[in-house]
Structure 1
Amino acid sequence: MSAERRPASFYWLAAFFALFVLFLYGPVITIVTLSFQGPEGGLTFPMRGFSTYWFSKLWEGIGVVDIGAALRRSAALGVVVMLLTVVFSVLAGLGLRQRFRGSGILFYVAIASLIVPSIVVSLGIALEFRIVDDSIKAFGDAYEVGWIQSSYTTIMGLFTSGLGAHLTWTLPFGLLIMIAVFNRLNPAYEEAARDLGASPWQTFRFVILPIITPPLIGVAMFGFTLSWDELARSSQAIGAYNTLPMELRGLTTTVTTPAIYALGTVTTGISFAVILSAMALTWLIRRRRARHGSDAGKGMV
């Protein structure tokens, strides 16, 4: 019996999907490839040699920009955003499990920042902090507070206005994930723990938390990568020191060597490393659970 032939539509859709993947990842592949140009290479094809020359030039510095400092700032901010996103998303998810008056409105308010344009959010946060700055300066002038009059500038910065701007982007994603997770969580596990005398904290720590750990890893991955790549919400609210994406945007108008591609390759590599690490950790947790489940089954035989 001959195998059933696929219809022509299958091949057309497969070709369309291949073009979509090429459109999606083609720019990344191009930048990564051109970052390995030889010392005489330029910003376009054909490549002139193959080397890591531009990566070494990158670490020497590009003009007046300290790439290492910008990378450390972005990494530190990303880690803080990741941790806060995980904690707040879990707490909000637990809170919204209980139906209370206004819970629906609270949910929509929490995710509304996904709808508002990012640049508007950034401008709004910057305006709020400038109002606070003006109020502090007015207070210093009114009561003649010396250190405010002489040295105070602004409270805007990486871990104040910048952190708030990034959380308006990461928290809605984390909240949506955790709401989906808790909606699928079987309450029988919690009831069994309470029947055995577990306190609410013990129930959360020893029952709920192990169950939701894989999704939490996903929330953490979203928190870091969204913060790591964020540009629009950082543009007006980051303060005096730029993050790596902002430095990269500024360099695109001044740097005319493949060093800019090398920087793009490094930032993309860090993003993929975080994603692959999260996937590997999730796989290890599921494998461990499956192994322990099989061992428990053997013990009952």
Structure 2
Amino acid sequence: MESRVFKPMLAVYVGLFLLFLYGPFIVLGILSFQQGPEGGPQFPITQWSIFWYRDIFGLTPPSRVAPLPIGVSLFRSLVLAGMTMITSTVLGVMAAQAFRKNFPGKTVSFYLIVLGMIVPGILVGLGSGLVATTTGIERHWWSTAFATHVVYTLPFAFLVMLAIFNRFDASVEEAAWSLGVSPITTFRKVTFPLIFPGVLSAMLFAFTLSYDEFSRTLLSSGREQTLPLAIYSTFSVEIHPNVFAFGVLTTLFSFSLLAVYAILMTLSVRRAKRVAIQEAVG
């Protein structure tokens, strides 16, 4: 009896949660198909059009609505996210590898690393800006903002890799060492293929968090705007449907990243199973 009541309630709860989670995206998608070039945020839509999607790519005649400054800012955000992803993932793997052993100050080091994700972003950005101003360092997206993003994303990559290494069977490494294989070769040939799914997860965390970061970038990037800052400066004055259309495209880009991640994860799992079968047969 309890199961008959609990399961429908759980299904309703999950449905409401998904609606709350993706409801804004649905509204965003509907509002993005308004008529142009003078159409504003209005509902219900009187005439459907893909004008604002064409406007994003510069395929419409000039109008009173200023085009979104997404060219250079998008490039900056992608490069910054890529730099942050590589740096945070490498440092996260190295830090998690070090935490497999006991060393003096291990607890303090753990909390110092995790502190980057606990402190409010606006305070981190403000602190980075003040340090740069005090020391005479000019703020740029590729220097001060990059350092701020690494401080923010490193804890996520570190915690992901720490969880992977906590379930890691060290006997496979010991077996390689007993055969005279060097530690570097062991990590490259044995350890890394086994932890590769975790590395992918750390990379995804670091990239998406950096690509979408606003508060830390606002006070540490100087005059050069990344994509979130450029969009904010646009719709802080007046909101137009081209912002909605770009929001839909950005969300689809995020979903495509998840799809690539799922494909790579599936291939990695299949490869691990194939290697395990070959070792069992051998």
Q: Fold conserved (TM > 0.5)? A: yes
Q: Tell me which residue corresponds to 1:217.
A: 200
Q: What is the total number of aligned residue pairs between the two structures?
A: 276
8 Å contact from structure 1 (residues 92, 175) kept in 2: yes
Contact residue 117 and residue 153 of structure 2 kept, 8 A: no
2:46 paired residue among 45, 48, 61: 48
1:118 has 2:121 as partner: yes
Partner of residue 249 from structure 1, selected from 210, 229, 232: 232
Whether the 8 Å CA contact 2:157–2:202 is kept in 1: the answer is: yes
- Secondary structure (helix, strand or coil) at the match of 2:57 reads helix
2:73 matches 1:70: yes
Change (3 A) 1:42 1:66: closer
Is the 1:38–1:51 contact (alpha carbons within 8 Å) kept by the matching residues of 2?
yes
Please say if residues 82 and 223 of structure 1, whose CA atoms lie closer than 8 Å, have aligned partners that are also in contact: yes
**1:64/1:266 CA distance change after superposition, 3 Å:** closer
- Tell me which residue corresponds to 2:274: 291
Q: Where does residue 6 of structure 2 map in the other structure?
A: 9
Q: Aligned residue for 1:29?
A: 26
Structure of larger gyration radius? 1
Residue pair 1:157, 1:240 contacting (<8 A) in 2 also: yes
Range with bigger deviation, 60-69 or 29-38:
60-69
Match of 2:223 in 1: 240
Q: Is 1:38 equivalent to 2:43 in the alignment?
A: no
Partner of 1:230: 213
Unaligned runs of 5+ in 2: none
What is the Cα-based RMSD across aligned positions, in Å? Answer: 2.0
For the residues of structure 2 that align with 1:106 and 1:245, how far apart are their CA atoms? 32
Structure 1 pair 85–212 and aligned structure 2 pair: CA distance change class (3 A): same
Who is 1:89 aligned against?
Answer: 92
One-letter identity of the residue aligned with 1:58: I
State the one-letter code of the partner of 2:69.
D
- Contact 2:84/2:207 (8 A) holds in 1: yes
Unaligned runs of 5+ residues in structure 1 are 134-153
1:197 match: secondary structure: coil
Offset from partner CA, 1:125-178 (integer Å, 9 cap, x none): 100000111xxxxxxxxxxxxxxxxxxxx5210111100111121100001111
Deviation larger for 256-265 or 193-202: 256-265
SS where residue 206 of structure 2 aligns? helix
Deviation at 1:6, TM superposition (A): 4.0
Q: Give the letter aligned to residue 5 of structure 2.
A: A
User: 173, 181, 186: which is aligned to 1:203?
Assistant: 186
Normalising by structure 1, what TM-score? Answer: 0.86
Q: 1:123 to 1:292 in 2, by over 3 A?
A: same
Q: Report the AA paired with residue 24 of structure 1.
A: L
Aligned sequence identity (%): 34
Contact 1:34 1:47 in 2 (8 A): yes
Summarize the Cα distance change of 1:171–1:283 in structure 2 as closer, same or farther, 3 Å threshold.
same
Please give the alpha-carbon distance, in whole angstroms, between the structure 2 residues aligned to 1:173 and 1:211: 19
Write the distance in 2 (CA, Å) between the matches of 1:246 and 1:176: 28
